[in-house]
Amino acid sequence: MIPVRSDVRVWLASGHTDMRKGMGGLARLIQEGLGRDPFAGDVFVFRGRSGSLIKALWHDGIGLSLYAKRLERGRFIWPSTVDGVVHLSGGQMGYLLEGIDWRNPQQSWRPTRAG
């Protein structure tokens, strides 16, 4: 899990991203496409076209980490802005990773039984 402290900024890249990109491709996208520094310690989150997969890139001061999460059911809530990035708080990032609408926190889906 990404240790999202209160001083870590979280940025959502608006739109969808090619999920075949790895660390290098996403870091280049942050630097060239979003005009931000991928090594500043911020967390940058990208969503695939289907909406069920996200990737987060984070530099902890030592090296880059790439995290991926796929929802079994539902989609990640994503902004519809075209300005490039949207800033989230650490709490909102926690909601996002749980599949909860970070704009209006409510449980969106919960399994009722196993199997």
Which DSSP string corresponds to 48-62?
Answer: -TTSSEEEEEEE-SS
pLDDT of 6 higher than 70: no
Q: The tokens 């870091």 sit on which residue?
A: 27
Mean pLDDT of the chain: 84
Q: Where are the domains of the chain?
A: 10-97
pLDDT digits (tens, 9 = 90+) for 96-108: 888 787 777 665 5
Rounded average pLDDT over 45-72: 92
**What residues does 55 pair with on adjacent strands?**
46, 68
Cβ–Cβ under 8 Å, residues 1 and 69: no
Look up the pTM and report it. 0.80
Between the two ends of the chain, the Cα-to-Cα distance in Å is 26
Which backbone phi and psi does 24 adopt, to 5 degrees?
-65, -45
Q: The tokens 């449980």 sit on which residue?
A: 107
